[in-house]
Amino acid sequence: MSKALEPPDIHHLNAAEGWLGLGNVVEAEQELEGLSAEVRTHPEVLRVRYHLYEKGKQWEPAAETAQLLCQVLPETPFGWIHLAYALHELKRTREAYDVLIPVVDRFPEDYVMPYNLACYSCQMGNLEEARAWLKKSVSLVGSGTIKRMASTDPDLHELREEIGRM
């Protein structure tokens, strides 16, 4: 486990999160720039930096940051899910799929990984596999949640009618 951040770094990080919550990526970035060099690869800093890049649709640096998170915290799903997502947004869906497949069984309680694998499978034309991943996701969190997520998800367009009947 990583050491807790201390003032003033924790204050900069909290402020950056606050600015992100308000949709102000410029102020959030300025707060992150105020962090000391020693904490720039701290998992919490990387998580906030990822969200900064995501909000700005800067998918290359988002993928790089998520990759670092996978290295720093391989035992948590956040880095893996967001690395795959950033790759998918970069139109590298096969790579996104390849990131999640080897680690999905490490996180048996996480419904987002199988959901995203359903999306990636669907986008690659593997509808049977997409259905299987959707079923797995439903088994973890229930059909209501997945139906709400999937009903407007463009990645699952091919399965829209089936999703409506869940």
Give 126-157 pLDDT, tens digit per residue. 999 999 999 999 999 999 999 999 989 999 99
Q: Give the pTM.
A: 0.93
Cα distance between residue 82 and residue 88, in whole Å: 10
Q: Is the pLDDT of residue 165 over 90?
A: no
Q: Is the pLDDT of residue 1 over 80?
A: no
Cα distance between residue 19 and residue 25, in whole Å: 7
What pLDDT is attached to residue 164? Answer: 83
Q: Taking the domains of the chain in order of start, what are their residue ranges?
A: 1-56, 75-166
Give 77-128 pLDDT, tens digit per residue. 999 999 999 999 999 999 999 999 999 999 999 999 999 999 999 999 999 9
Q: Is the pLDDT of residue 2 over 90?
A: no
Give 27-75 pLDDT, tens digit per residue. 999 999 999 999 999 999 999 999 999 999 999 999 999 999 999 999 9
Cα distance between residue 93 and residue 23, in whole Å: 27
Cα distance between residue 74 and residue 45, in whole Å: 16
Q: Is the pLDDT of residue 7 over 80?
A: yes
Superfamily of domain 75-166: Tetratricopeptide repeat domain (1.25.40.10)
